[in-house]
Amino acid sequence: MDFYLRSIKGQFNARGKMLKDNKFLVYAGSVISSEYSKSKKYLANSYRTRTQLMGMYIEDKEGVLTFTDNFPFSSPSRAAAVVMGRSANGREVWISET
């Protein structure tokens, strides 16, 4: 079953699916927010993941950040945080496409 995560303002538009062991796969072509929270919690956790993925799995084309390949995250919350640019409860924000 696929899930999506979209911003009303068009800042991000991502799709993915749950994997075994509570992991979450974000699909290639998913657009993530170019902005991110400056909160200590976000900077300590998800921002590090986000910066590590830049250039390897996420490309920046004129300010639009897009996954170039599918990427498995350790949880739906970590995937949502990277996509949204802020901490989030992945079980609440990813919406089923069915």
What pLDDT does residue 72 have? 98
CB atoms inside a 10 Å sphere around CB 35: 12
How far CA 59 is from CA of 8, 65, 93, 97, in Å, comes to 22, 6, 24, 26
What pLDDT does residue 42 have? 87
Give me the tens of pLDDT residue by residue for the chain, a chain 98 residues long.
Answer: 999 999 988 899 999 999 999 999 999 999 999 999 999 888 888 999 999 999 999 999 999 999 999 999 999 999 999 999 999 999 999 999 77
What pLDDT does residue 70 have? 98
Query: Distance between CA 27 and CA 67 in Å, rounded?
Result: 7
Radius of gyration of the chain (CA): 12
Beta strands in the chain (DSSP E): 2-6, 13-18, 24-26, 31-32, 58-61, 64-67, 71-73, 95-96
What pLDDT does residue 88 have? 92
What pLDDT does residue 65 have? 97
